[in-house]
Each structure stands twice: as structure tokens, then as C-alpha cells.
Structure 1
Amino acid sequence: MCISTLERLSNLTLDMPQEQRFLVLFDFDETIINESSDDAVVRALPDQQLPDWLINSYREGRYNEHMQRVLAYMAERGVSKDAIQSAVEKIPPSPGLHELLQFLRNHQQDFELAVVSDANMYFIKTWLESAGVCHLFRKIFTNPASFDASGQLLLLPFHSHLCKRCPDNMCKQVILRDYLAGRQKERGGVAFQRVFYIGDGANDICPTQALGPRDTAFPRRDFPMHRLLLEIQESQPANFKASMVSWATGEDIVDYLKEVLEER
């Protein structure tokens, strides 16, 4: 996942004190990009919409399986790899996203970036590479996806887990905890000073439960993650230890991160 470029960037910052680094985790759909990538690729269909029988086949907690059926249907209708790639590349970024990534690019010695998304690897890498920002992300956690010999995009689940709150194919809290533990070991026992989680959806709630008092959750303002966190803060405050800063544009996040850097 853009590893060769990242290795070169790492070599430039080897002498930086690792204990001063922060981790920034991004969701993808409606966070990095301004809509759902799954909805965007459907527009590559001849009639630009799914039939009712396919829409109604969705079952709660099994969205990954639903998208497998959607991609199979698109292949049957003759939607090509080029058409899917074009649809993904045309998705607009969320407001202020480029300004936020430019800020993080300018402070690479302070921030490590990763994506944690229930989209899929093909959509995410295609968009990030088209936008010229793939090299900024050390890791992408998402569902595997690749084209087979017939030209169909095959989608697989990311992992299995025991969390009852999350879809069968992905628990973002499990990913976050495993990543933090693994990176701390790789960094010689040095943990990240703070963790920042940027998202929008209901499936971004679970990982925020693993954040500590010095960490920050950035829910997109008036989106499900924001509304649910407000409810948790009111009714279950013990379940949310981090601070919360809502955002409407990436520049809202930049303003907060500037303050964090000034604290050092």
C-alpha cells in the first residue's frame, strides 16, 4: 500500500523522536471523499441504478455480502474495469480535505496516517492515487478487492471478529487496538502521544470506545457518528473518554491540530 514511497519518507525522518509522533486514522466514504464510493460506482451501470430485488437483498450487518452481489451484477451488465475506475476517480473530496492533507504532509515528522474503512482496497487506492496522496498513508485497513480474469471486481471480508456491535466483516476497534499494539512494539515500546480518529458513520463509533483521555474523535458534523457520540456523551459518558471535535470542513481539523502542535 504505497510502501515503497513510505519507506523513502521514513528514511527522511529516522532521526525524529518517535515519542513525539501522533496517529491520525481516517475513514474513507463521506470522510476522505464526499460520498459513498459504493453509490458512486453504481452510476457506471447503463441505467445508473440497482434493481429493487438487489437493493432489497441487503441484510443488517451483512453489507459486505450485499456489495459482493452488487459487483457481480455490475459485471453481468457489462460494466468494465475502466468504467469503475473512472467512476471512483470522479468522486469529489470532502470539503477542506486537501487542505487537511497538505497540513499533515507539511508535518510528516509529527503525524502518521492510516485509513480504516469498510469500503474496499481497489476503490480506496484508486482514489488516493488519482488524488496524488496515497504516499501519505502508512497503512490501509479495508476489505480486499481485485479483478478476476473475467473482469469482475471480487470483494472479500476484511476479517472475522467477536464484536456484536459491528458488521460481520469488520470491527474497527479491533483494528485500532491491534495496530496500536503492533506499532508500539515496532517503535521499541514507545506509544503514540495521541490518537486522532476522523469519521462520519455509525461504524466509526466502536473504535472511539478505545480512545483515551488525550485522544480526539472528529465526527463529521450532523452525520450519524456525530449524533451517536452526542448521545453517548449524555447517556453513557463512561464509555467515551476522548475529547470530541466535530468538523464540517478539513480546515476545522487543521485548526485543532495546530493547537496540538503548539502545546508541545
Structure 2
Amino acid sequence: MGDSVFNCCYVPHPPPGDEAPARSRHTAAADMASSSQPPIPSDKRFLIFFDFDETLVDETSDDMVVQAAPGQTLPGWLKDTYQPGHYNQYMQRVLAYLAEQGVTESQIRAVMEKLPATPGMLTLLQFLRTRPPQDFEAVLLSDANTFFVEAWLRRASARPLFHRIFTNPATFNRDGRLVMRPFHSHDCPRCPENMCKQSVLREYVTRRAQERGRPYERVLYVGDGANDFCPATALGPRDVAFPRRDFPMHRLITEMHEAMPGEFRAVTVPWAGAEEVVQRLRKILAE
């Protein structure tokens, strides 16, 4: 990966590791140290991360699930419980309210399955689907939850594209309530308390470099939100950040370029339609 920041994480002869989910720096390290599984072989050249809300899909799934509520709205008292930086806890209350109103698993799944893809995204997914298997390893990194993400991916026939999915765990309990838990804890002041995407990205890239016995040529990141800016700051000068044009990730990158020239090291390729991502990926493959 040349000048990528992740070359500092490359370990030529690693201890064997498995594919346990990233939870915290200490947990991931313990998993790798204790596992007896052999390294996972991989000839992938490029690692590409995708956000979900307003990146793969053209909506925010947490907002759209309200369509399953009576009257397709939430009561004011519930909306008033939201506090900045604590969205995960707020969504837990929203999902509890939906269960109390008799909203079923099938109703929530139906809402998720109808989420529209962002412009050009199905073209991008089809491009990845038709590439030789050694080209891309795709990972989904989202602050949504497993049920929302899996429902849409399976409906779009896109689930097999993703080697791993990192998102907040969510399962239905015996009472029919979708119970969501925070993904992990962290100490990043920039991110919501339930997920720092940079922490997840760094752990995963380090782990896979050890399992593969070599780093990726480049790490690519496709996103839109403020919480996608944090992981993008960890990319190196040969890596590529794909922020959705005029969304928070793009604005924050632009502001960093203006305020601290040279601090944001990745190549930046804004996109309005995901066909623009395909065009850049073709160029990368041709280099």
C-alpha cells in the first residue's frame, strides 16, 4: 500500500487470528492472541469500506423506520428525549415504542427493504460483483444496526459482496421487540459514544494485514456523514476517501484542507452519483 498510514501496522509474521467482530482495542488484541485458527488466505488488492445510511441507501434507516409507527410519526414526548451524542440510546427507546404499538418484525423489514439506493449505487455494487475476486474486499461500517442493514442487503442481493459488516447488534426478543445494543465503547471525543469508525477501521486493517501476511495496496472509504470523516482522517496519501458531495463528510474534509493544509492525507474524490466512484475504481485498477 506504499505510503498508506496502515503500513505502520503491518506485521510480517503474525500470530494466527480468527474473524471475531471488533469491539474494542483490548478485546480485539485478546481475540488474536488466544485464537488457534490459521490465518485466512486473501489475495485481495484493495480494501473498500462503505457506510450504509445515505451512502448505500438514499435515506437514514433510523428515520425511515418511523414509517412503521401508527400514523407514521412519533409522539412529541419521545422525540424530546433525544440528546446529541446519544442517538443510540434514543433509537433503543424508539424501537421499544414501536414494539409497544404492536409493530411487527415483518413490518419493520418491509420498510427497510423499500429503502431506495443512492443514485448510481446499484451500478457500483454490480461493478464490484463482476470484478475478479482478487480485486476488492468490501466491508460495511455503519452506525445503523444489523437488522436494518441485513434486511436491505438481502433484498438488494448485495449481502455476498461484503466480507464483514460492522454495525450495532440488534435482534428481536421473545416479546417481538427489536433490541439494539451499542457496538462498542471507545475514547474518541469526535464520535458518538457507541461507535468510533476510525477505531473499527484501524483494528480491521491491522488484523487483516496480519492474517494476510501483507498490507492492502490501498484502503478506500465511501461515506457521507460526520462519523465517516473520523475514519477518513486515518487514511494515507495513496488511499482514497469518497465523500458524498456536499454532505457532512465532504464539508469537514474541505474545512480541514482549508484550515490545516496537508493534514488530510488521502486522495479525495467527491461523488454525487456512485458511477463517479466506479470511474475512479477503474482508474485505480488500471494503474
Q: TM-score, normalised by structure 1?
A: 0.91
Task: Please state if 1:66 is matched with 2:101.
Answer: no
Matched-pair identity in %: 55
Equivalent position amino acid for 2:45 in 1? R
Alpha-carbon distance in 2 for matches of 1:232, 1:124: 31
| Structure 2 stretches lacking a partner, 5+ long | 1-18, 20-40
Q: Which residue of 1 aligns with 2:55?
A: 31
Structure 1 stretches of 4+ moved >3 Å: none
Task: Please state if 1:144 is matched with 2:169.
Answer: yes
Task: Please state if 1:167 is matched with 2:192.
Answer: yes
Q: Which residue of 1 aligns with 2:123?
A: 99
Alpha-carbon distance in 2 for matches of 1:150, 1:104: 39
Alpha-carbon distance in 2 for matches of 1:237, 1:144: 38
Alpha-carbon distance in 2 for matches of 1:253, 1:25: 12
Q: Specify which of 121, 127, 142 is matched with residue 152 of structure 2.
A: 127
Alignment of 1:82-93 (within 5 A): 82-93=106-117
1:137-167 deviation per Cα after TM superposition (whole angstroms, max 9, x unaligned): 0000000000000100000000000101100
Alpha-carbon distance in 2 for matches of 1:130, 1:46: 24
Equivalent position amino acid for 2:60 in 1? S
**SS of alignment partner, residue 166 of structure 2:** strand
Q: TM-score, normalised by structure 2?
A: 0.84
1:206-244 deviation per Cα after TM superposition (whole angstroms, max 9, x unaligned): 101110000011110111111111101110234311011
Q: Specify which of 248, 251, 254 is matched with residue 227 of structure 1.
A: 251
- How far apart are residue 134 of structure 1 and its match? 0.1
Q: Which residue of 2 aligns with 1:9?
A: none
Q: Which residue of 2 aligns with 1:198?
A: 222
Task: Please state if 1:184 is matched with 2:209.
Answer: yes
Alignment of 1:12-51 (within 5 A): 18=43, 21-51=45-75
Change (3 A) 1:239 1:56: farther
| Structure 1 stretches lacking a partner, 5+ long | 4-13
**SS of alignment partner, residue 70 of structure 2:** coil
Q: Which residue of 2 aligns with 1:250?
A: 274
Equivalent position amino acid for 1:115 in 2? L
**SS of alignment partner, residue 43 of structure 1:** helix
Equivalent position amino acid for 2:148 in 1? F
Alpha-carbon distance in 2 for matches of 1:76, 1:238: 51
Equivalent position amino acid for 1:166 in 2? C
Alpha-carbon distance in 2 for matches of 1:250, 1:98: 8
Q: Which residue of 2 aligns with 1:11?
A: none
